[in-house]
Structure 1
Amino acid sequence: MNKIGFCLALLSASLAPLCAQVSVEIVLDQDQFLYGESVPAAVRITNRSGQTLHLGAEANWLSFSMETGQQPLIAKNGDVPVVGAFDLESSKVAIKRVNLEPYFSLDQPGHYTVTATVRIRGWDRELLSPPKGFDVIEGSKLWERDFGVPPASGASSTEPEARKYVLQQANYIKGQIALYVRVTDPGGRSLRVVSLGRMISFSRPEAQVDRFSNLHILFQNGPRSFSYTVINPDGAVVVRQTHDYANSRPRLKPDPDGSINVQGGVRRMTANDVPKPLAPPEDTPAPPPNEVTPPKH
């Protein structure tokens, strides 16, 4: 064994007991993302050290690195902010949730791997998570429309800012199709990417822009169910509803005043509605567990 190999073996042997006491894991809700889409990640820190860990006091206590097969390290746009000191007792798990997309240059389709590093104050150690892989993919364009951004209330009349709505679909593993809205500037730079959810393969999405430059999308996401979403010029979801096929199929209907509504079918209240329903449906799922929970053995 050469000198470098011997040193690495010693390092691995010295870190093995520590990794068994405190473990770090990255969890992703999905393993494929459209270019520009948010990449939400959860970092699970499990403490079995027999002592309370004091975490989060330093700005760099939790950091991330990313790489691809083409680039050993992906350029950063900034450090992922994870602020707030807390104590993690032994036999407990802490979960920190972040969005990685704004802080890394994920502008090329391909396979990426991300690693989290936790620094424990007083231990003089860095704990690395196993690399977690995901793919950035290109979607196919279904529809696009240029529009002008309405002026703010009370603002003087000037030439409107030009933007574009782009409706895209992405084909995922096992034949699943997801629908997205991308808001871009005139040069094609993405300002926001919004996931609309899964769509059945034979659905033909309807898209229309109202007099306030809001985008209305209606598409079929189940055998008899349709998803209706309204996106404002900034890419924010202002309406999300579910409509079921009853005596007629739901469709978008423009009114003479420039507004757009859903005609036909019947609306079904769900826990995912925007705005939230006044009385949550009976089948509303339970809220997520607290951020610090006992680990699974």
Structure 2
Amino acid sequence: MEAQVKASLSMSKKEYIAHEPVVATVTLTNNAGRDLLIHTDSRTTLNWLDFEIKNSRGTALSPLAAMNFGAVTIPAGRSITKSVDLTGTFRVTEPGRFRCKAVVRLPGGGGQFVTNTAYFNVTRGRRVYSQRVGDPASGNVREYRLSIHNTSRKASLYLHLIDIRTGRTMQAFRMGDVITSKTPKATVDRGNNLHVLFLTAPNIYAHGTVTPAGKHLGTKYYNPAPGRKPALATFTNGEVVISGGISYDPREAAQSRARLRKLSERPRMTYR
């Protein structure tokens, strides 16, 4: 049966910041010549899909919670994919290098097989900002943390939101590419929302806003105004705005470049 069902494992990326989703994707290809129904065998307590993860010391990680997957049907000659966030099930939130394999079990005594091994790293990044605030909705104290994560190709700015009472990381997500020659700036407004301003590309600044509940309210982009640079400005009423910037729409700019490129590719007219 193993030759009739091909399985492979891939990670969403090779480098993760601590507490962000670590997503593994299993691809199953049916070469059996008939439709296959894969499900957890009722005679056992084992899932049809499991993961084996080891840290850099070779220690196997025990699941923190049970994983339950519903039955899947793979049409003959077709492939399906199953993506799983490993962060909530395994302790892959601490810095280190990990290796992961998926185990697929076939029902009715069809046996089991193991996928290829996928490797990934988890790092904390370099913290550049932290601020504790109260959450008006819950009354709890939160801490915003900004960190920069460098890879061989680019640097990214990440936000972590920590519940101070429990120490739990409530949110961890990537805010965008960042040029590290200019340190990101951050402040909170009267509602304790975090405002972050960072240089995301040459002459393009990004302004992201996050609530104390961990909701990302979106990102706006700015070019420098003549003779000025975008900056966070706080009014006396606690409102935070961008000064020294001209609104910039990356999507509209890309469409304009595409239109110009199409025009430049037209054949030149010859006059006689």
Query: Scaled by the length of structure 2, what TM-score is found?
Result: 0.82
Match of 1:250 among 222, 230, 238: 230
Tell me what 2:266 maps to.
none
| DSSP 3-state at the match of 1:20 | coil
Q: Distance in 2 between matches of 1:96 and 1:148?
A: 38
2:239 alignment partner AA: S
How far apart are 1:171 and its partner, in Å? 1.7
| DSSP 3-state at the match of 2:176 | strand
2:116 alignment partner AA: P
Matched, 1:181 2:159: yes
CA RMSD of aligned residues (A): 2.4
1:190 alignment partner AA: T
Query: Scaled by the length of structure 1, what TM-score is found?
Result: 0.76
Conservation of the 8 A alpha-carbon contact between 1:206 and 1:218 = yes
Tell me what 1:21 maps to.
4
2:212 alignment partner AA: P
Conservation of the 8 A alpha-carbon contact between 1:23 and 1:127 = no
Tell me what 2:144 maps to.
165
Match of 1:209 among 188, 207, 225: 188
Match of 1:68 among 46, 51, 55: 55
Tell me what 1:115 maps to.
101
The C-alpha deviation readout for 1:82-111, integer Å capped at 9, x for no partner, is 33x332112211011221111111243211
| DSSP 3-state at the match of 1:173 | coil
Conservation of the 8 A alpha-carbon contact between 2:39 and 2:107 = no
1:49-198, aligned counterparts within 5 Å? 49-56=32-39, 60-83=47-70, 85-122=71-108, 124-151=110-137, 160-174=139-153, 176-186=154-164, 188-198=167-177
1:225-236, aligned counterparts within 5 Å? 225-236=204-215
How far apart are 1:81 and its partner, in Å? 4.1
Matched, 1:260 2:247: no
Q: Distance in 2 between matches of 1:82 and 1:257?
A: 51
Q: Distance in 1 between matches of 2:175 and 2:198?
A: 9
Q: Distance in 1 between matches of 2:113 and 2:225?
A: 55
Conservation of the 8 A alpha-carbon contact between 2:51 and 2:100 = yes
Q: Distance in 1 between matches of 2:248 and 2:74?
A: 42
The C-alpha deviation readout for 1:210-269, integer Å capped at 9, x for no partner, is 111111111111112222211111222122223333534322222222121223333334
Q: Distance in 2 between matches of 1:82 and 1:249?
A: 51
The alignment covers a number of residue pairs equal to: 249
1:230 alignment partner AA: T
Unaligned runs of 5+ in 1: 1-17, 153-159, 272-278, 284-297
Q: Distance in 2 between matches of 1:180 and 1:130?
A: 30
The C-alpha deviation readout for 1:184-204, integer Å capped at 9, x for no partner, is 133644222121122113122
